[in-house]
Amino acid sequence: MDADPVALAPPARGAPVRPRAPLPRGLVLLFAVASGLSVANVYYAQPLLDALARDFGITRAAVGGVVTATQAGCALALLLLVPLGDRVERRRLMIAQLLALAGVLGVVSLARSVAVLLVGMLGVGMLGTAMTQGLIAYAASAAAPDERGRVVGAAGSGVFIGLLLARVFSGGVSDLAGWRGVYGCSAAVMLALAVPLWRRLPKLARSEPGAMSYGQLIISMFALLRSDRVLQTRGLLALLMFATLNIFWSALVLPLSAPPYNYSHTAIGAFGIAGAAGALAAARAGQWADRGWGQRTSAAALALLLLAWWPLSMLGHSLWMLLVGIVLLDLGGQALHVTNQSLIFRSNAQLHSRLVSLYMLFYAVGSGLGAIGTTATYAAAGWHGVCTLGAAVSLLALVFWGVTVRSMRRAAPCACTSN
């Protein structure tokens, strides 16, 4: 059944406070599916670069600008669009962004010039990211405090599945209908998604609707970053964690595409499916955070990240050990990611959109640093050098957690969040 909008709004002054009803499973599933479908748009282009280069008559080196434009859109969304959820009524904002995303996808599918293609990809990056992170903040705000971690974990699992299946969908549809068919089909899916979102998303009351101007909203993010200790510590943990993940995934293609393996890009990409079991299992980390085990879960996740590099370093001896390492790496990374989001969302719901925006900026920086460091390390010291780098960054994250755990406990809104 639909979520009760009354239960999601704050009670009137002087009225008795009644517990907020748990979100229906169907609504939680809708958040997860919508998040996954939204984020997938950002990654459809990666398997299509060869086709785009042929169709537009540009070199393979230059076609990388398509990915650059998309990633630039992601960064702009985190800075300029995602924070709007703290000022604009969230359901209307989601629908407006969804319709705009469908329109931009349609523009990309019909593009006849490189300029239109790049502008379209910039828009896809902006609106796909705004939808994804906006839905996660929406889910956190709609959930009751004692189920917030579970709901955020479910939405995060939807994002992971969307990332995992984006390349599969893109490759399959392009084989049948070309690269334009991928974006045309996705535009239709987004339009179809608008109906259940409009009907099912709850209306969330805002304490002071529209009181803050857009400029003040953006400027307030700097003050929030400066004052929120939980965001600072969890953001830095996210930076180190995503750097660790990108050190591995950016380097994996290098040894597997060379002798004695000589695997195709499709075969190498299939290794990503091995991490699905670990990453999906990590959705339970949100429930553990709800029970007050956020710091224990963080410690276990960081230990798994560090431990994963031992089987990963055995790549030259056993592919089975590589698979074990991938599962451990994705399990630890996703568990920490879900726990981080569960803890930063324990503050005022009016801040959730800005919090997720700032948190994901840490993610973007970590991902970039990990990718940059990997290629240079592999060139200088090979696969074992990459594993040493990954283990060192993982150890640094674990040490940072240990040093800051007491201050994080003091910064937590209530004692139950940091046991």
Residue extents of the structural domains in the chain:
22-204, 218-417
- Identical fold at 22-204 and 218-417? yes
Per-residue tokens: 405:
């755990």
Closest by CA position to 285, among listed 327, 221, 335 = 335
The segments of the chain whose pLDDT lies below 50 read 1-19, 207, 209, 411, 413-419
Rounded to whole angstroms, the Cα distance separating 345 from 327 reads 27
pLDDT of residue 36: 92
Rounded to whole angstroms, the Cα distance separating 130 from 127 reads 5
Say if residues 344 and 227 touch (Cβ distance below 8 Å): no
Say if residues 114 and 58 touch (Cβ distance below 8 Å): yes
Phi, psi of 209 (to 5 degrees): -60, 125
CATH class of the domain at 218-417? mainly alpha
Closest by CA position to 82, among listed 406, 353, 388, 419 = 353
- For 22-204, CATH number? 1.20.1250.20
pLDDT of residue 201: 92
pLDDT of residue 414: 43
Rounded to whole angstroms, the Cα distance separating 129 from 235 reads 18
Say if residues 296 and 288 touch (Cβ distance below 8 Å): yes
Query: Alpha-carbon torsion 360, 362, 364, 366, what sign?
Result: negative
Count of residues in the chain: 419
Rounded to whole angstroms, the Cα distance separating 103 from 105 reads 5
What is the model's pTM? 0.81
Rounded to whole angstroms, the Cα distance separating 314 from 250 reads 17
Q: What torsion, rounded to 10 degrees, do the Cα atoms 298, 299, 305, 308 define?
A: -140
pLDDT of residue 78: 92
Closest by CA position to 309, among listed 242, 378, 392, 367 = 392
Rounded to whole angstroms, the Cα distance separating 81 from 40 reads 18
pLDDT of residue 418: 39
pLDDT of residue 95: 95
Rounded to whole angstroms, the Cα distance separating 195 from 49 reads 32
Rounded to whole angstroms, the Cα distance separating 257 from 254 reads 6
pLDDT of residue 17: 37
pLDDT of residue 265: 61
Q: Kindly report the CA angle at 363 between 209 and 97, in degrees rounded to 5?
A: 40
